[in-house]
Amino acid sequence: MKKELTIFDKPKNVKILLICFYCSLVLLLIAEFFIHPHPAFYFETMKGFSAVYGFFSCVLLIFLAKILRLIVMKKEDYYDR
Amino acid sequence: MTGNLPPAIVFIAAALLIPLFRGRFKALYMLLIPAVTFIIIMKVPQGNNWIHELWGYTLIMGRIDKLSLVFGYIFTIMAFLGILFSLKVKDNLQHVSAVVYAGATLGVVFAGDFLTLYLFWEIMAVSSTFLILASRTEDAKKAGFRYILVHLVGGLFLLAGIVLYIQETGTTAFDYIGLSGPASWLIFLGIALNAAAIPLHAWLPDAYPMGTPTSTVFLSAFTTKSAVYLLIRTFPGTDLLIWIGAFMVFVPIFYAVLENDIRRVLAYSLLNQIGFMLVGTGIGSQLALNGAVAHAFCHILYKGLLFMAAGSVLQMTGKIKCTEIGGLYKTMPLTCLFCIVGAASISAFPLFSGFVSKSMVVTATVEEHLVLVYLVLQFASAGVFHHAGIKVPFFTFFGHDSGIRAKDPSWNMLLAMGIAAFACIFIGVFPQPLYNLLPYTVDYIPYTGAHVVGQLQLLMFGALAFALLILSGYYPPEIKSINLDVEWTYRKLGNRAYAILDSGLNSLNRRTENLLISTVKGVSAFFREITIHLALFFSVNLWLIQGYRDKHLTMKKERLYNEMVHGTLPVGMGAAAAVSFVFLIYLLT
């Protein structure tokens, strides 16, 4: 039997991963100041628009999905009954 | 010799011979089918080829131009990968129907006239149904039945449209049609159903997740994308498609977030991706159409890859629901890695294939100043990363440890996933070869600083939302459940209509039947009683004459009565009764 990978079993490794992830977010925000801007629409001239839009899209997605779940979720044997 | 045969015929004819081969020869033979076809497609000159006359109609089996070629290439490549992935499956039904299905799709793509198109269209519907039935479970049987019914109805729409079209134009050849009269609307509906355009989409998430671990890989590639091809050819620039597409990009991601079955999550994200293609088709500019084609090309590869990864998990663990799997990276590291490549591609991460194709469609919306559509597409891009990019790998390979310790699948499955993963990265890093294949000249540079940083911000801050929601416990928990979709109308409503008809018409039927039966029963009982009493009357007189009295007579009477009632009376007794009747008359006269 091959050895198992267990790197994510250690909380320390998960913590390092999360710290790297948060650092990359900060870097992305800084990077925007060093590139030639190419806004698609007027609202994209704001710095960090994509970041804010991406974040709130996902929050809204989850929020609406939770509401949708109240309406459409049924037990697995719904159609067999 | 094969150079003279259309690709579809090569595939379908070769498929029928698959059961004759065994072992390694079979594997080699099956892999050769797409390989040989690929060479045929490469060598055939542009223009109309393989033209036949039939009953006064011209059948064009090889309309070769840049648009059909790029789809021909990707379908052949995907057929190769699918065959490689399913090489060790010991089920001729699956192999034959998969290869016929792929061949019929090539027939649809290269068809230059409606009759050829319709022929291969129906072959596609039937052969793909067998791929769903191949699971041989009760659920798959029911889903396959619903699938074929829906597609036959769609086929009828297409056929009706074709008949009207031929009547109006006097020709079977087709190219750009555009929405104008009833004929074009019927054709549009028929094609849109196969493209799973909302609200004609429910068959896809209903049926695809029911396939076997390997057959779903074929299903995910062919039907919908061949329909997208037809829409690009016949209805480019149809405004309606922009709105259908935007709706498709938007709505399925909510279902994908809620779904528990990984393959159903992928089916909903498939709908979402087709939405991008339909938006591109609807805009109809050169950039938009190029984007739709490029996205279809990339999508077939990464969606195939994701379904292969999901199929591998299903094959090795027997499970595919979020609530039942998790922590599989420990023992399936390669499958996990390939799944992440597919997930990064569908999320349009820079350096992966989705980035260089999806962005063309998004940029096309900018050029047309479609602000709302642009915002919807960006919302969906973040959403796709959320459910397909993070949810699928996270809940399958990480998340809670399910305790399952399944190994990576066999070499052929890993190789198929490896090739697809390589192609996803190659296209992402070097998009130019793909751009060269597109129908129009490409004047588009995906890798600009603004685009890369903007896209990364969108995705990574979406990921931040996921991380925070998971850590805070607000993320909707995985629940064993199903979610209602449009198929409810024909599954539940249909059943109710059936029940109403059943209790209405059938109870009438039952009552009529009961009335008839009770009448017949009464009549037959009357005649039986008459016979018994007649028989007793004549027998008793006979026995009296013969001298039976008292106990003997009662015993004989009871025995005769019982035998008459229970039908155990020998036939001879009837004859005896008749003879005694005649004898009595003779005595009395």
Q: What is the DSSP letter of B173?
A: B
Cβ of A58 within 8 Å of Cβ of B398? The answer is: no
Q: In terms of Cα–Cα distance, which of B74, B211, B202 is closest to B129?
A: B211
Helix (H) or strand (E) holding B460: helix B449-472
Q: Which residue of A61, A70, A81 is the best one to mutate when testing the B interface, meaning the one whose CB has the most B CBs within 10 A?
A: A61
Cβ of B467 within 8 Å of Cβ of A18? The answer is: yes
How far is residue B37's CA from residue B53's CA, in Å, rounded to a whole number? Answer: 24
Q: Do B222 and B270 share a structural domain?
A: no
Helix (H) or strand (E) holding B163: helix B138-169
What is the average per-residue pLDDT within B192-211? 90
From chain B, the residues in CB contact with A14 under 8 A are none
What is the average per-residue pLDDT within B131-150? 91
Q: Do B222 and B132 share a structural domain?
A: yes
From chain A, the residues in CB contact with B469 under 8 A are 58-59, 62
What is the average per-residue pLDDT within B216-223? 93
Cβ of B330 within 8 Å of Cβ of A5? The answer is: yes
pLDDT digits (tens, 9 = 90+) for B303-360: 999 999 999 999 999 888 888 888 888 889 999 999 999 999 999 999 999 999 999 9
Which of B191, B214, B234 terminates a domain? The answer is B234
Cβ of A25 within 8 Å of Cβ of B469? The answer is: no
- CB-defined contacts A:B, below 8 A: 149
Burial B561-577 (b: 16+ CB within 10 A, else e): beebeeeebeeeeeebb
User: Can you state the angle between helices B66-85 and B215-234, rounded to 10 degrees?
Assistant: 170
Q: Do B421 and B519 share a structural domain?
A: no
Beta-carbon neighbour count of residue B268 at 10 Å?
26
How far is residue B102's CA from residue B92's CA, in Å, rounded to a whole number? Answer: 15
Q: Do B300 and B223 share a structural domain?
A: no
In this complex, the residue of A38, A69, A71 whose CB is nearest that of residue B450 is A38
In this complex, the residue of B255, B457, B492 whose CB is nearest that of residue A28 is B457
Q: Do B225 and B114 share a structural domain?
A: yes
Q: Do B529 and B464 share a structural domain?
A: no
- Residue B266's pLDDT is 93
From chain B, the residues in CB contact with A74 under 8 A are 481-484
Q: Do B220 and B247 share a structural domain?
A: no
**Reported confidence tier of residue B58, pLDDT bands at 50, 70, 90:** confident
Cβ of A75 within 8 Å of Cβ of B453? The answer is: no
pLDDT digits (tens, 9 = 90+) for B367-403: 999 999 999 999 999 988 888 888 888 888 888 888 8
Q: Do B316 and B187 share a structural domain?
A: no
Mean pLDDT of chain A: 83
Cβ of A6 within 8 Å of Cβ of B330? The answer is: yes
pTM (2 decimals)? Answer: 0.83
Q: Do B412 and B270 share a structural domain?
A: yes
What is the average per-residue pLDDT within B231-257? 92
Residues 6+ apart with CB under 8 A from B31: B80, B83, B84, B87
- Residue B520's pLDDT is 78
Q: Do B550 and B478 share a structural domain?
A: no
pLDDT at residue B123 above 90? Answer: yes
How far is residue B504's CA from residue B517's CA, in Å, rounded to a whole number? Answer: 20
pLDDT at residue B442 above 70? Answer: yes
**Reported confidence tier of residue B1, pLDDT bands at 50, 70, 90:** very low
Which of B464, B485, B506 terminates a domain? The answer is B485
Which of B201, B234, B267 terminates a domain? The answer is B234
In this complex, the residue of A24, A53, A61 whose CB is nearest that of residue B458 is A53
Nearest C-alpha of chain A: how many angstroms from B469?
8
Q: Do B376 and B227 share a structural domain?
A: no
Half-sphere exposure for B537 (CA within 13 Å, toward CB)? 9
Q: How many domains does chain B contain in total?
A: 3
Cβ of B453 within 8 Å of Cβ of A31? The answer is: yes
Nearest C-alpha of chain B: how many angstroms from A46?
12
Q: Do B309 and B215 share a structural domain?
A: no
Residue of A nearest to B466 (CA): A58
Amino acid at B334: L
pLDDT digits (tens, 9 = 90+) for A3-41: 677 777 778 888 898 899 999 999 988 888 888 877 778
Which domain covers residue B584, as residue numbers? 489-588
- Residue B376's pLDDT is 93
- Residue B539's pLDDT is 82
Cβ of A74 within 8 Å of Cβ of B479? The answer is: no
ipTM above 0.90, yes or no: no
